[in-house]
Structure 1
Amino acid sequence: MNNKTYKHIEDTRISISELMLPSHANFSGKIHGGYILNLLDQIAFACASKYSSTYCVTASVDTVDFLNPIEVGELVTMKASINYVGRTSMVVGIRVEAQNIQTGHIKHCNSSYFTMVAKNDEGKSVEVPGLILKNELEVTRFLKAIKRIEMKKKRQDEFDRDDFVPHDYIKDLQDYNVKIDL
Structure 2
Amino acid sequence: MAVMAGQDREITLRFLAEPADVNFGGKVHGGAVMKWIDLAAYACAAGWSGKYCITAYAGGIRFVKPIHVGNIVEVGAKVIYTGRTSMHLGIDVKAGDPKHPERHLTTHCIVIMVAVDDSGQPSPVPEWIPVTESDKVMRDSAIRLMEMRKKIGAEMEAHLKP
TM-score, L = length of structure 2: 0.89
Tell me how far apart the structure 1 counterparts of residues 33 and 42 of structure 2 sit (CA, whole Å).
Answer: 14
Q: Which protein has the larger Cα radius of gyration, Structure 1 or Structure 2? A: 1
Q: Determine the C-alpha separation between the residues in 1 that align with 2:89 and 2:31.
A: 19
| Among candidates 77, 86, 90, match of residue 87 of structure 2 | 90
57, 64, 69: which one pairs with 1:67? Answer: 64
> Using a 3 Å threshold, how does the CA distance of structure 1 residues 29 and 89 change in structure 2: closer, same or farther?
same
Q: Are residue 53 (structure 1) and residue 50 (structure 2) matched? A: yes
Of 24, 27, 33, which aligns to 1:27?
24
Indicate which of 134, 139, 143 corresponds to 1:146: 143
1:112 maps to a residue whose letter is C
Look up the equivalent residue of 2:79 and give its one-letter code: I
Find 1:77's aligned residue among 74, 83, 87.
74
1:158 shift after superposition: 5.1
The 8 Å contact of residues 18 and 75 in structure 1, kept in 2 or not, is answered as yes
For residue 114 of structure 1, what is the amino acid of its counterpart?
A: V
Letter in 2 for 1:160: E
Read off the aligned partner of 1:67 and give its amino acid letter: V
CA distance in 1 between counterparts of 2:118 and 2:47 reads 16
Alpha carbons of structure 1 residues 14 and 103: separation in structure 2 relative to 1, 3 Å: closer
Match of 1:129 in 2: 126
Gaps of 5+ in 1: 1-5, 162-182
The runs of 5 or more residues in structure 2 that have no matched partner are none
Contact 2:9–2:78, Cα closer than 8 Å, also in 1: yes
**How far apart, in 1, do the equivalents of 2:147 and 2:15 lie?**
35
Question: In the aligned structure 2, how far is the partner of 1:79 from the partner of 1:52?
Answer: 17
CA contact (8 A) 2:6 2:49 kept: no
Are the equivalent residues in 1 in contact too, given 2:64–2:107 (CA < 8 A)? yes
CA deviations on 1:49-71 (whole Å, 9 max, x unpaired) are 11011000000101111000001
Root-mean-square deviation (CA), in Å?
Answer: 1.8
Measure, in 2, the Cα distance between the counterparts of 1:158 and 1:38.
27
Count of residue pairs the alignment pairs up = 155
